[in-house]
Amino acid sequence: MVSVVRRYYAYRATLTNGFYLPVSVIYMETRGLGLAEIGFVQGVFLFGMVAAELPTGYLADYLGRRRTLALGNAVTASVMTAFVFAATVTHFTAIYLLWAVAWTLRSGTSDAWLYELLEREGLDGEFARLSGRAESVLLVVSAVSALVAGVLYTVDPVFPFTANAAVAAVGLPILFTLPQTQNAENDEPPMTLRRAASLLRGQFSRPSIGWLVVYAALFNVVFSVTRVFEQPALREIGVPVAGLGVLYAGFKLVSAVATSAAGPVQDRIGTRGVMLSLVPIFGVLYASFAVVPLLLIPAVFVRRAVSQLVRPVRNEYINDRLENVGRATVLSGVSMVLSLASGTANVLGGPVAEEIGPVVFLAATGVAVSIAAGVLWLLTSPIRDDSSQGTDNTRTIQVN
């Protein structure tokens, strides 16, 4: 069993996007894309994730976890290779649509495989510890690869993408050394489209869930547009390409620390305190680099830390208010809402960022969202105490 878990850690390491992420946007700029076109392409990626989430979930049940994960790695390797040849908006749009499919093939399925394996061995109580360790392995590998990415890019801009393709391909032989798992039995009736729509409508109409989703979607807009436009913004204030690799390595390490700090912070200030703190943090943070542009550097670090810290707190709050029946459908619905908000912001924000500059655009977005979220909080109280706990709330299910 120890050997199997170690191989699983090795597989999770091949999911890194550390070579690709620090240089992806500036690479598209060198291929002639403007910020408006980059925003469009990134928005297409998020919309593609929304469209692919449910079909790939069905595919995972049909093919089995291991085959689905292998397909995800194969598609990822193909996507990274395709970056080398892409030269137009149409090319990059097609690539990002395929990348969205690859992402949804892997997201959640790897955790499902581990949980089913541990459940079969009577060790399902170890899931949180082992999955957390696997995530730490991924973050460390991503940090190291991000350091290398900037150097590779200065040698040849296509090298980071070929390196990421090679890492994804290495995951294939590792996967086929892992055992098959049998999908857990499910006594629920089939989730038809009509039943899913009715369930989502009922849950989102509850103030304790619906307003929290709206509040979270606002800040997801800030998280998303910052991730998309931070590379040109950092270049605008003078950060070199090699420096981007160093920064992204730091982002991964900060994310790892923030993830582990979520529980203690929540214990100290509570769920309400964590979620409300987003308003002053982002209002002040994003206003600061509108005045002193170099403050963008600490701002992007804080953005990473806060998003990693808030995600498990938000997920626990939502999980606590759901019954077991239909839980996965509601969580998928939340994920879709957040992705749609982010995708729309990227598409609409691209032309604005191109017109006024990425630094000013990010600062204005952060301040505007903080004001809107503050007003929403006063009018609706998104965090409420009413909860409807099911019988299996011991494990927090993540939504993006």
Q: How confident is the model at residue 391 (pLDDT cuts 50, 70, 90)?
A: very low
Per residue in 5-40, pLDDT (tens digit) is 889 899 999 998 889 888 998 999 999 999 999 999
User: Domain boundary residue among 128, 145, 179?
Assistant: 179
Per residue in 50-105, pLDDT (tens digit) is 888 767 766 776 777 788 889 999 999 999 999 999 999 999 999 999 999 998 88
The CATH number of the domain holding residue 218 is 1.20.1250.20
Report the percent of the chain where pLDDT is more than 90.
Answer: 40
| Least confident stretch, 23-27, 166-170, 242-246, 325-329 | 325-329
Q: How many residues does the chain have?
A: 400
**Is residue 45 located within the same domain as residue 155?**
yes
**Is residue 285 located within the same domain as residue 393?**
yes
Per residue in 302-320, pLDDT (tens digit) is 998 888 888 778 877 876 7
Q: How confident is the model at residue 398 (pLDDT cuts 50, 70, 90)?
A: very low
**Is residue 68 located within the same domain as residue 217?**
no
**Is residue 52 located within the same domain as residue 144?**
yes
Q: Is residue 229 part of a domain?
A: yes
Looking at residue 324, its pLDDT comes to 52
**Is residue 288 located within the same domain as residue 230?**
yes
Q: Is residue 203 part of a domain?
A: yes
**Is residue 21 located within the same domain as residue 105?**
yes
| Contact by Cβ (8 Å): 317, 398 | no
Report angle CA 369, 330, 348 to the nearest 5 degrees: 35
| Least confident stretch, 219-228, 272-281, 326-335, 376-385 | 326-335
Per residue in 162-220, pLDDT (tens digit) is 999 999 999 999 998 988 875 444 445 555 567 667 777 887 888 888 899 999 999 99
Q: Is residue 39 part of a domain?
A: yes
User: Domain boundary residue among 179, 208, 235?
Assistant: 179
On the question of pLDDT at 389 being above 50, the answer is no
Return the closest-CA partner of residue 359 out of 222, 224, 237. 237
Sign for the pseudo-dihedral over CA of 386, 388, 391, 396? negative
Looking at residue 397, its pLDDT comes to 34
- Rounded CA separation 387/400 (Å): 21
**Is residue 175 located within the same domain as residue 305?**
no
Q: State the chain's mean pLDDT as an integer.
A: 83
- Report the domain count for the chain: 2
**Is residue 116 located within the same domain as residue 250?**
no
- Rounded CA separation 64/311 (Å): 28
Q: Which domain holds residue 125?
A: 1-179
- Over residues 133-142, the mean pLDDT reads 82
**Is residue 166 located within the same domain as residue 207?**
no
Q: Is residue 3 part of a domain?
A: yes
**Is residue 106 located within the same domain as residue 237?**
no
**Is residue 213 located within the same domain as residue 275?**
yes
**Is residue 70 located within the same domain as residue 204?**
no
Q: Is residue 361 part of a domain?
A: yes
